[in-house]
Structure 1
Amino acid sequence: MTATAPSLVPEPDADAPLGAVAVRALCEFAARSGDLDLRFSPSPTGAEGIAGHSTVTARRGEGYQREVPLASHWQGLRVQGRADGWDPAARRLEEIKTHRGDAHLIGPAVQALHWAQARVYGWMLCEQLGLAQITLALIYFNIDTGVETPLVQTHDAAALQAHFADLCQRYSGWARQEQAHRRARDAWLQTLPFAFARFRAGQRDLAAAVYRCHKAGQPLMAQAPTGIGKTVATLFGALRAMPAGAHDKLFYLTARTTGRQLALDALAHLSAGAGPAAAPLRVIERVARDKACEHPDKACHGDACPLARGFYDRLPAAREAAVRVPHLDQAALRETALAHQICPYHLGQEMLPAADVAVGDYNHFFDLGAHWHGLAVAQGWRVALLIDEAHNLIERARGMYSAALEPADFQLLRPLAPPALHKAFERLHRPWNALARQLAGAHTVLPGLPADFMAALQALCGEIADHLATHPADGLGDSPLQRWYFDALQFLRVSETFGDHALCDLTPSLRPRPPRTRVAQPVLSLRCLVPAPLLASRWEAAPAATLFSATLSPMDYVADMLGLPATTRRLDVPAPFAPDQLAVRVAPAISTRWSHRQASLTPIAEVLARQYREAPGNYLAFFSSFDYLEQALDRLRQRHPDVPTWAQTRGMSEPDRNAFIARFQPDGQGIGFAVLGGAFGEGIDLPGQRLIGAFVATLGLPQVGPVNEQLRQRLQARFGRGHDYTYLFPGLQKVVQAAGRVIRTEHDHGTVWLLDDRYTRAEVRRLLPAWWPPAVTECPPSV
């Protein structure tokens, strides 16, 4: 069972002022009831919503007041916001909501929340103007048709005041509890001891730099070697800085599940310093919805899923129970949610505002429409970031701001689409065929977004939205129409960010052409090449951000690609390891270039076998692709069948990955084969005799191809170092990460073999860790 601790919720101070809360936040906390209902409901974008409000208010007569600032106080709580519109002549206050589809299909729970907001504004206006009665109008405005659907109610001021007081009463208890928690948390953090008896070499410097930068609200790039305990050091520094920097939240962002668990373990160690009473620090782990869903076969609404039924009615009790659980990891969150019969994933969403530290994937803060970033901006949180293995953020951010449309999916859907959508599908089919005529060879770069195609895609998405709003059954489950519609919406969202940092291109589809399809339509892709301009808003929202990794060199490259502010501090922590702990060997007679790979297989097999026989134990051998790995593995098994081997496979499941790692026991022997840059190239810890050596049979360079050559040209134009930024620096980062699996502690010893003649070049040697001893050049055994 999950341990609970009453001491986690300090006694509130009934006389302390509660500060301010927005009308929307107050109503979302206290006025929701009934089911969780995430049935498809097409909604306008933020920009469309703003435009819709402007359209409605522009229709009103002279004297109509827009965006009316209002505020009211209740027992130390200030409630504030802006009413959409006020007609003083008619004494009518309007709350405007934009939508798509039939307004009568807007659910009662959503309407109840909208009416709660209107009534709060109604009371505040009655109080401000001394009105005894007021007319409230909830205006639903269809942004596609321009039609207004008004719902009108008349209320006495006394009834509105009672409603306002009831919401404030429900909220105030929670707010006072949160206020007391914040005081206790900050007092504890100011004296937080380090989790261990002493710092490892380099840990104190790293923790101190994080503390200083977070206190000052300044970004930091920190390169520190593997094995010194970067996770606990950065967390310690950031937590100690939270009171000094007045930070509301600390977001710990990772690229991999293993990194998330390391952070949770480190937080548990740090919290253990509180002694018998649990530490007043709330930690929450967030995972993807598909990993948290209890009923993946059911739709997310009360008519289908028992955990969505009555969700908001049971939420207050679940929320009160959850704040008494110090570490809401995935298991604890699930246990708490199921005890109250509500959805674990959405309970996690509701608990994020109460958490002090949230641990999750990069996408929670950096993705388009990222939930954590959106909340931070909307709630005005002061947020600090810790970005683990930050070298991965470059490629991950590229993926977040890229999109592609596959023609095979579109062609398969066309004959299945509802008849009302056939014309809209045909209107997109024609410009897609026109794009096929522009495809020249395997890759064609377009000068910009194809205007006719984009207009047709926008129109089709609008018609699908209207259709699904009036025919919700066509969007139930994972229907092909809804699935394609979501892909198309993502493409449109990415297109709104298009600029000289990105590429719009055509490539042939690798999928079979559907029957009766005359033209082979191309894949249309939007590729983010340089994510820097798109991440600017993220750094603005969290100026206290630490990016750390063992491979942030060269730092100019990372800063340029991620668009880090010019004020970013830099730290390179010296390695605590001695050169005699590691032997570095280079095989200059081996080339792993594409054209030489067949010739390299036997020499590589001989190097692996000789090293294994000279020093039996556990080794990792890294290759640039699964094809290369499999060929090298076959050659080693043919020539040296006595050498124990095991290998990473394509699409490896999590249990299989765990079994692969489990082979590395202190008394084990053999060679594990893995792909460079994959699951075993970083983020795994195999100290001591669990791993005594590694072979890297590649320089790690990305494959030369049309897209990477376009990237090289763009980076050359922007930064003057196109080849290095595209190929050399990303490749060597992977190499150093993989080799870093060998020496994890001050007591480890091991060997790294660099199997490629290019490792003899000075420009490559400069990118290897400074603490490594000079590489010994050795020829492979004669074959």
Structure 2
Amino acid sequence: MPFTVAVRTLCEFAARRGDLDLRFTPAPSAQEGIAGHLWVTERRAEGYETEIALRGSFEGLEVRGRADGFDPALNRLEEIKTHRGDLARQPANHRALHWAQARCYGALLCEARGLAQLDIALVYFDIATQRETVLTETWEAPALREAFEALCRDFLAWAQQESAHRAARDAALQALAFPHPDFRTGQRELAEAVYRGAATGRCVLAQAPTGIGKTVGTLFPLLKAAPAQALDKVFYLTAKTTGRQLALDAAQALGAGRTLPLRVVELVAREKACEHPGSACHGESCPLARGFWDRLPAARSDALQSGLLDAPALREVARRHAVCPYYLSQELCRWTDVVVGDYNYWFDGSALLHALALEQGWRVAVLADEAHNLVERAREMYSAEIAQADLRALRRTVPQAVRGALDKVQRGWSALRKAREAAGDRLDGLPANFLQALRGACTAIEEHFAQAAPGASLDEGLQQAWFGMLGFLKLAETFGEHSVLEWREQPAARGGRPDAVLRIQNLVPASFLAPRFAATRTSTLFSATLSPPRYALDMLGLPQHTAWVDVASPFSAAQLQVRIVQRISTRWADRGRSVAPIAELIARQFEAAPGNYLAFFSSFDYLAQVADAFEAAHPQVPAWRQSRRMGEAERSAFLARFQPGGQGVGFAVLGGSFGEGVDLRGDRLVGAFVATLGLPQVNPRNEALKARLEQAFGRGWDYAYLVPGLQKVVQAAGRVIRTPEDRGVVWLIDDRFGRPAVRELLPAWWRIAPAGDAVAQA
């Protein structure tokens, strides 16, 4: 079967040379690029052809693409590129890539039309000045064919290797056996649901309890489905680093890197992967960017021999070949079978994996671990803010043209403030004149950058402000019922009227995420806390035909004593009175059954009050606390206190680092106290969220407060029972835990002690 490749992909693979150069150069937006192409082609004479579909082959390699334009009268093929500013700023490797693409199209056109000779032109169109710069070459058809075949020859060996890898991969996956002697209770049910999702092209929402092996139980069936469903890639996405490691461990258990010809790569954030933090990403500053594209082919081949490329393995390959590990990992996404990374690589507005999937036409499957986190993460992805003080500070250092544009923005702030005050201190929409002032400032900054001398360093603060304004404007274009405008004020640096901060805060990310689910063959979102399923469907924009599976727990009610303390209220007004009773309850439980316990509270202040009271009354009991902004070493030290056979109480904040993703098996943890319902704060944002959700779904209070809060409670309680051998106790401390609406959101397998028993034991 022939291997098919796009002209762009062929050239990016075979013709890129020189340095990695990520210095900022003003570039048109996608819309401006489309408009620029249209502007150029509409200037051409009658008979000019556009978007010419071309294809050709070389030794079984099929190459296809669309040439921008051809003028039969001039016998000239044109490759049109839009730009902004001085072309001398264009990196040399960009120009070389453009020529390679144009020559490739030229070879295909000569073959298709029997041309003996052809003029090839690179047409650079400056969208700011609307001027063209035309660079022309004249080629004989045989020479173009020779250049085309040289590119194909470089790619062909790789294409044949990739075809062989795909065939071997699919054959191995068809024969893949589950890596353990038996499925755990509930694990087969989960695996079957994921497999059916891939087979039928449906998304899956899976609530599966902790301890059944969700990672292997989801990754294994998708890999088994890959050959029959022609899946190119599986993306395993997580909210936290611990989730990535579980996915890598599961891939290794399945044989990746050893017996299974499966390529797996881990993506990590640039700041964590960077080997030279003080250097900019270009060859004049960073040695790993210098000659990156020249050394990439050898590094890529070496990396893909490893199979399993976690961050340390990738770093070692990058070190051997003196290339940047972060950008090596991004390039390897094109050639690996499983990519493990954060949610943002698929769900963010500028997500790498989503962009590649659309560009390459991949057939992909997505696994989203701990998916109860996705709502809040997506809200952050689709929110943006601008600060008046930041823009004012810029004014002192920018040239006059930019200063004038920023002055218009400052006047816009004043008009915005007056409009808000006139409307009773609220904003229901973004005034057109304010947005126009922001666009004007962006244009002025772009033009300033475009006029900079080649090689000149650009003001990083101005760049960041420009990116921030562009991000804000992008969300402003889609502003609607899914978001609200938030206004807050900051004290002015030198007194006087406070400065404003304007934020577009997303409340319901469904409309942004729905296209991401539509771009997959199947997506499976799984977590121990996804009830009620309607909440996830409404908030995340999953298709209405999404399958729901609620996997039965492998644990028995006898393993976990769940006690409700209804005589204590943890409401804000009652917290002072609750401190001593909660401290005494913890002490009594510890005295009755010494061991390691976790106590969760709604805030650091509440935690400190109870911990202080507990330590003062019971100094003989070891106690340790979560603190604000703990580093990785501090978090590890906190968890290290939970030793097998140990005794003591760790105090933590609900929804923080220790409320989920922590695996303390056996007697490393024998109990937990949850002194809160986890309800979000009552503040203007959450009240706006409640109103919008009530209007949209008729579930305002539940969706804004109760469901997110109880998800945190169940996650925290889930730290106690991790295996079928574990035993423990969970104390739910608040009278509201006895309400039917709350009880129905707690796990069905819990057997909750009657209130009378709990009061007596407390």
- Do structure 1's residue 686 and structure 2's residue 664 form an aligned pair? yes
Following superposition, the deviation at residue 468 of structure 1 comes to 2.0
Following superposition, the deviation at residue 338 of structure 1 comes to 1.1
The equivalent residue for 1:633 is 611
Structure 2 counterpart SS, 1:137: strand
Q: Any idea what the Cα deviations from partners look like across 1:226-253, whole Å, max 9, x if unmatched?
A: 1111111111111111112110000000
Q: Any idea what the Cα deviations from partners look like across 1:414-442, whole Å, max 9, x if unmatched?
A: 21223341111111111012223344599
Q: Give the whole-Å Cα distance in 2 for the aligned partners of 1:98 and 1:673.
A: 58
Give the alignment partner of residue 319 of structure 1, picking from 290, 296, 300: 300
Aligned residues: 761
Give the alignment partner of residue 161 of structure 1, picking from 140, 145, 151: 145
Q: Give the whole-Å Cα distance in 1 for the aligned partners of 2:62 and 2:630.
A: 54
The equivalent residue for 2:410 is 429
Q: Any idea what the Cα deviations from partners look like across 1:59-117, whole Å, max 9, x if unmatched?
A: 11211111111111111111111111111111111111111121222121100101111
Q: Any idea what the Cα deviations from partners look like across 1:40-77, whole Å, max 9, x if unmatched?
A: 11212212211111111111121111111111111111
Following superposition, the deviation at residue 289 of structure 1 comes to 0.8
Following superposition, the deviation at residue 470 of structure 1 comes to 2.7
The equivalent residue for 2:472 is 491
The equivalent residue for 2:252 is 268
Following superposition, the deviation at residue 208 of structure 1 comes to 1.4
Query: 1:499-518 residue pairs with structure 2 within 5 A?
Result: 499-509=480-490, 512-515=491-494, 518=496
Q: Any idea what the Cα deviations from partners look like across 1:594-647, whole Å, max 9, x if unmatched?
A: 111111111111111111111111111111111211222112122222221111
The equivalent residue for 1:288 is 269
Query: 1:299-310 residue pairs with structure 2 within 5 A?
Result: 299-310=280-291
Give the alignment partner of residue 104 of structure 2, picking from 120, 124, 132: 120
Q: Which moved more, 1:112-121 or 1:492-501?
A: 492-501
Q: Give the whole-Å Cα distance in 1 for the aligned partners of 2:141 and 2:211.
A: 65
Give the alignment partner of residue 742 of structure 1, picking from 713, 720, 729: 720
1:286 counterpart letter in structure 2 = L
Q: Which moved more, 1:73-82 or 1:414-423?
A: 414-423
The equivalent residue for 2:154 is 170
1:643 counterpart letter in structure 2 = V
Q: Is this contact kept in 1: 2:529–2:711, CA < 8 A?
A: yes
Following superposition, the deviation at residue 403 of structure 1 comes to 0.5
The equivalent residue for 1:73 is 57
Q: Give the whole-Å Cα distance in 1 for the aligned partners of 2:483 and 2:285.
A: 42
Query: 1:630-709 residue pairs with structure 2 within 5 A?
Result: 630-709=608-687
Q: Is this contact kept in 2: 1:443–1:505, CA < 8 A?
A: no
The equivalent residue for 1:9 is none
The equivalent residue for 1:8 is none
The equivalent residue for 1:482 is 463
- Do structure 1's residue 258 and structure 2's residue 242 form an aligned pair? yes
The equivalent residue for 2:200 is 216
Q: Is this contact kept in 1: 2:449–2:458, CA < 8 A?
A: no
Give the alignment partner of residue 123 of structure 2, picking from 110, 131, 139: 139
Q: Is this contact kept in 2: 1:405–1:524, CA < 8 A?
A: yes
1:133 counterpart letter in structure 2 = Q
Following superposition, the deviation at residue 779 of structure 1 comes to 6.4
2:101 counterpart letter in structure 1 = Q
Following superposition, the deviation at residue 407 of structure 1 comes to 2.2
Q: Give the whole-Å Cα distance in 2 for the aligned partners of 1:590 and 1:625.
A: 17
Give the alignment partner of residue 372 of structure 2, picking from 374, 387, 391: 391
Task: Identify if the C-alpha distance between structure 1 residues 322 and 444 changes in structure 2 by more than 3 Å, giving closer, same or farther.
Answer: farther
Q: Give the whole-Å Cα distance in 2 for the aligned partners of 1:444 and 1:395.
A: 26
Following superposition, the deviation at residue 781 of structure 1 comes to 8.8
Following superposition, the deviation at residue 493 of structure 1 comes to 2.1
Structure 2 counterpart SS, 1:226: coil
Give the alignment partner of residue 148 of structure 1, picking from 132, 135, 150: 132
Q: Is this contact kept in 2: 1:94–1:137, CA < 8 A?
A: yes
Task: Identify if the C-alpha distance between structure 1 residues 183 and 603 changes in structure 2 by more than 3 Å, giving closer, same or farther.
Answer: same
Q: Is this contact kept in 2: 1:299–1:305, CA < 8 A?
A: yes
Following superposition, the deviation at residue 451 of structure 1 comes to 1.2
The equivalent residue for 2:527 is 549
Q: Give the whole-Å Cα distance in 2 for the aligned partners of 1:528 and 1:692.
A: 39
Structure 2 counterpart SS, 1:81: strand
Structure 2 counterpart SS, 1:416: coil
1:353 counterpart letter in structure 2 = R
Give the alignment partner of residue 755 of structure 1, picking from 715, 733, 742: 733
- Do structure 1's residue 22 and structure 2's residue 3 form an aligned pair? no
Give the alignment partner of residue 452 of structure 1, picking from 422, 430, 433: 433
Q: Give the whole-Å Cα distance in 2 for the aligned partners of 1:474 and 1:507.
A: 40
Q: Any idea what the Cα deviations from partners look like across 1:704-740, whole Å, max 9, x if unmatched?
A: 1111111111111111111101111111011001100
Following superposition, the deviation at residue 518 of structure 1 comes to 4.6
2:493 counterpart letter in structure 1 = P
Following superposition, the deviation at residue 504 of structure 1 comes to 2.1
Q: Is this contact kept in 2: 1:443–1:506, CA < 8 A?
A: no
Q: Give the whole-Å Cα distance in 1 for the aligned partners of 2:32 and 2:455.
A: 25
Q: Any idea what the Cα deviations from partners look like across 1:534-593, whole Å, max 9, x if unmatched?
A: 112101111311111000100011111111111211101111111111111111121111
Structure 2 counterpart SS, 1:141: strand
The equivalent residue for 1:775 is 753
Give the alignment partner of residue 702 of structure 2, picking from 724, 727, 736: 724
Q: Give the whole-Å Cα distance in 2 for the aligned partners of 1:350 and 1:656.
A: 34
Q: Is this contact kept in 2: 1:503–1:528, CA < 8 A?
A: yes
Query: 1:227-266 residue pairs with structure 2 within 5 A?
Result: 227-266=211-250
Following superposition, the deviation at residue 137 of structure 1 comes to 1.3
* Identity across the alignment (%): 57
2:386 counterpart letter in structure 1 = L
The equivalent residue for 1:11 is none
**Which runs of 5 or more residues in structure 1 are unaligned?**
1-16
Query: 1:360-439 residue pairs with structure 2 within 5 A?
Result: 360-439=341-420
Query: 1:314-353 residue pairs with structure 2 within 5 A?
Result: 314-353=295-334
Q: Give the whole-Å Cα distance in 2 for the aligned partners of 1:476 and 1:222.
A: 50
- Do structure 1's residue 204 and structure 2's residue 188 form an aligned pair? yes
Q: Which moved more, 1:773-782 or 1:304-313?
A: 773-782
1:319 counterpart letter in structure 2 = R
Q: Give the whole-Å Cα distance in 1 for the aligned partners of 2:214 and 2:324.
A: 34
Q: Which moved more, 1:582-591 or 1:498-507?
A: 498-507
2:565 counterpart letter in structure 1 = A
